[in-house]
């Protein structure tokens, strides 16, 4: 889901001379992006080959379940109208989480936006040269309250509804990668997948939490940071629209990939980015998307009702001044 990367401090730190603190870096490609795993050599059972094979098997399973870019995946078959599909545990997990966040966000997180994603040119078919002119007719196919999961089969209130789990699947995959590492004996590690983060334990070389930098969305090309935090036994996801967008070649209008599922619009708002820290990356991923899709005042009200919720939002006010909302763990874990 997410358009910008996070700078990971100490990910490529100088390796300690003590074997117990030797840092192994494993990198690869997955889900149309890249991943990097920082893990300590003495904690990991097996070699890099075994770890990569375990990850690759996971990626194959995730794509077979939820990739809209794979024609024979479960989600693609469901979107094509196949009512015989029996979904797997991965799809089921993401469905139930999506239902919860859909309800809590009052519909601003909604993985049934598939028809809108395609109409705005952000789907598997690629960029569109035009602005959709039939949004009202498309909105009848949007609404997570119009779908249900019964005995691992999707039921729809009407045909034509299309799922798109891209705003949660990457975070969910990170959680599963974390489980792979734990099964191989790792207790202290950092995983990054396309800018999303799972941190477990500590950086033993520093004897401290993993140090994470959050990009400044106002300077996307300079790699400057707007905030640095220490993260341990938590996950973080960030959603923003300043990297993933398209410009209409005729009108020069800007359209962003975070689509408002209630209005159907894909136009920029005054929110630049939203970061969320949560126990799982799937939750962080989903809530970060919801906070990007919501009107700013609704996001503020949402956070006020949940003072323990950890969020960091960058926006521009009515005077065109950049403002930041920092709440929960983002304040507690901020470091210099």
| pLDDT at residue 266 in the model | 83
Q: Is 78 inside a domain boundary?
A: yes
| pLDDT at residue 314 in the model | 94
| pLDDT at residue 2 in the model | 44
Q: Is 53 inside a domain boundary?
A: no
By CB atoms closer than 10 A (0-12, 13-18, 19+), residue 293 is buried
Q: Is 180 inside a domain boundary?
A: no
User: For residues 128 and 54, what is the distance between their CA atoms, to the nearest angstrom?
Assistant: 37
Q: Is 307 inside a domain boundary?
A: no
User: For residues 275 and 229, what is the distance between their CA atoms, to the nearest angstrom?
Assistant: 12
Q: Is residue 312 within 8 Å of 324, Cβ to Cβ?
A: yes
- 45-49 contacts at long range (C-beta below 8 A, 24 or more positions apart): 45/184, 45/185, 46/184, 48/24
Spatial neighbors of 163 by CB under 8 A, at least 6 apart, are 68, 75, 78, 79, 111, 112, 114, 147, 154
Q: How far is CA 39 from the centre of its chain?
A: 22
Q: Is 92 inside a domain boundary?
A: yes
Q: Is 40 inside a domain boundary?
A: no
Q: Is 123 inside a domain boundary?
A: yes
Instruction: Give the residue ranges of DSSP H helices in the chain.
Output: 48-66, 74-79, 89-104, 114-119, 135-139, 166-183, 281-293, 296-305, 329-332
What domain range includes position 110?
73-163
| pLDDT at residue 217 in the model | 80
Count of structural domains, the chain: 1
| pLDDT at residue 105 in the model | 96
The conformation of residue 313, written as its DSSP 8-state character, comes to E
User: For residues 187 and 231, what is the distance between their CA atoms, to the nearest angstrom?
Assistant: 14
| pLDDT at residue 126 in the model | 64
| pLDDT at residue 256 in the model | 66
Q: Is 54 inside a domain boundary?
A: no
| pLDDT at residue 11 in the model | 39
| Vertex 333: Cα angle to 168 and 229 (nearest 5) | 65
Per residue of the chain (336 residues), give pLDDT as tens.
444 444 443 333 333 344 457 899 999 999 999 999 999 988 988 788 889 999 999 999 999 999 999 999 999 999 999 999 999 999 999 999 999 999 999 999 999 999 998 887 777 766 555 566 677 889 999 999 999 999 999 999 999 999 999 999 999 999 999 999 999 999 999 999 999 999 999 999 999 999 999 888 877 566 788 899 999 999 999 998 666 655 666 566 666 668 899 998 887 788 999 999 999 999 999 999 999 999 999 999 999 999 989 999 999 898 989 899 999 999 887 775
The DSSP result for 140-179, as a single string, is: TT--GGGEEEETTEEEESSTT-----HHHHHHHHHHHHHH
Spatial neighbors of 176 by CB under 8 A, at least 6 apart, are 58, 62, 90
CATH at residue 158: 1.10.3980.10
The conformation of residue 258, written as its DSSP 8-state character, comes to S
């Amino acid at each position: 889901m997410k358009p910008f990367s996070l700078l990971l401090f100490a990910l490529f730190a100088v390796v300690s001379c003590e074997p117990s603190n030797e840092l192994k870096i494993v990198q690869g490609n997955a889900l149309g992006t890249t991943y990097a795993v920082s893990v300590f050599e003495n904690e990991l059972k097996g070699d890099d080959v075994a770890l990569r094979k375990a990850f690759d098997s996971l990626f194959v399973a995730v794509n077979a379940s939820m990739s809209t870019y794979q024609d024979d995946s479960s989600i693609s078959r469901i979107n094509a109208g196949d009512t015989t599909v029996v979904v797997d545990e991965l799809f089921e997990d993401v469905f139930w989480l999506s239902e919860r966040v859909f309800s809590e966000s009052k519909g601003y997180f909604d993985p049934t936006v598939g028809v809108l994603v395609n109409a705005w040119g952000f789907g598997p078919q690629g960029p569109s040269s035009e602005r959709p002119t039939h949004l009202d007719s498309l909105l009848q196919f949007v609404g997570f309250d119009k779908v249900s999961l019964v005995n691992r089969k999707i039921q729809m209130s009407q045909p034509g509804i299309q799922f798109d789990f891209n705003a949660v699947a990457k975070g969910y995959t990170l959680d599963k990668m974390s489980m792979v590492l734990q099964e191989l004996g790792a207790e202290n590690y950092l995983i990054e997948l396309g800018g999303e983060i799972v941190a477990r334990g500590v950086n033993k070389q520093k004897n401290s939490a993993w140090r994470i930098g959050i990009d400044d969305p106002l300077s996307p090309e300079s790699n400057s940071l707007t905030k640095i935090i220490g993260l341990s036994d938590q996950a973080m996801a960030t959603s923003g629209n300043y990297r993933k967008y398209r410009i209409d070649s005729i009108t020069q209008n800007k359209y962003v990939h975070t689509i408002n599922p209630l209005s159907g619009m894909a136009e920029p708002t005054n929110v630049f980015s939203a970061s969320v820290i949560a126990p799982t990356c799937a939750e962080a991923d989903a809530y970060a998307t919801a906070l990007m899709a919501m009107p700013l005042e609704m996001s503020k009200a949402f956070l006020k009702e949940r003072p323990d919720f950890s969020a960091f939002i960058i926006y521009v006010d009515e005077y065109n001044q950049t403002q930041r909302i920092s709440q929960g763990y983002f304040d507690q874990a901020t470091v210099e």
